[in-house]
């Protein structure tokens, strides 16, 4: 588990992890607010968290939200998990947001864009980020079971790819992890944390 995962050019070396592990919510909480998080990262992650809450509240979907922002700071795509309601195993929040971004930009390449997502991308979403040529992926909670941006796999950092995507993890991790945990606790008839 990484405290903060950064792939690509860095201005300073990574600080060592400070006792990484699982939070009370069951999802990893690398750092309280993402050690390298900027004010914009926090703003857009809050937007992604609002989308995740909407997924649960309005559609009873697993609460994962994603927002895709271009290099000028404009939202070009957003989404939340839709795989249950759409009967589509590929309709993860990241894929929904990147599809919307492709339609907005009129291109399958999302060069210069940053994807903010409330849960670390799985293998499918991590590879889609590489194929879309994203500049960055910023996630909230690490996924200790299927995370593919450093937790279980590190597909994004694989040196065999012809494109590099910078990754920052742990931005508002506690909020993202708690939202997911409480969703599954509710499904099992347990009280929220």
Res 21 pLDDT > 70: no
* Res 27: pLDDT: 52
Catalytic choice (31, 94, 120, 175)? 94
Record the tokens describing residue 16, joined without a space: 């060592």
Neighbour count for residue 167 (Cβ, 10 Å): 26
Tell me what the pLDDT averaged over the chain comes to: 86
Judged by average pLDDT, the poorest of 9-23, 49-63, 78-92, 103-117 is 9-23
3-state secondary structure 62-111: CCCEEEEECCCCCEEEEEECCHHHHCCCCCCHHHHHHHHHHHHHCCCCCC
120 is catalytic: no
Q: Write the DSSP symbol of residue 191.
A: P
The tens digit of pLDDT for each residue in 28-71 reads 444 444 556 799 999 999 999 999 999 999 999 999 999 999 99
Res 26 pLDDT > 90: no
6/123: higher pLDDT:
123
The tens digit of pLDDT for each residue in 98-149 reads 999 999 999 999 999 999 999 999 999 999 999 999 999 999 999 999 999 9
* Res 159: pLDDT: 94
* Res 36: pLDDT: 64
- Which residues partner with 114 through β-bridges? 69, 136
pTM assigned to the model: 0.83
């Amino acid at each position: 588990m990484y405290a903060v995962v950064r792939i690509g050019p860095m201005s300073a070396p990574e600080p060592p992890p400070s006792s990484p592990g699982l939070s009370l919510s069951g999802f990893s909480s690398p750092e309280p607010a993402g050690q390298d998080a900027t004010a914009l990262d926090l703003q857009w992650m809050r937007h992604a968290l609002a989308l995740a809450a909407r997924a649960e509240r309005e559609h009873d979907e697993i609460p994962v939200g994603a927002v895709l922002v271009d290099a000028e700071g404009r939202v070009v795509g957003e989404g939340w998990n839709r795989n249950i309601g759409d009967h589509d195993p590929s309709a993860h929040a990241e894929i929904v947001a990147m599809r919307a971004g492709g339609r907005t930009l009129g291109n399958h390449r999302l060069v210069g864009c940053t994807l903010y997502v409330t849960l670390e991308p799985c293998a499918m979403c991590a590879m889609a980020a590489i194929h879309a040529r994203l500049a960055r992926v910023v996630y909230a909670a690490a996924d200790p079971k299927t995370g593919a941006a450093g937790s279980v796999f590190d597909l994004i950092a694989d040196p065999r790819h012809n494109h590099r995507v910078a990754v920052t993890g742990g931005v508002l991790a506690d909020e993202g992890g708690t939202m997911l945990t409480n969703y599954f606790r509710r499904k099992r008839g347990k009280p929220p944390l």
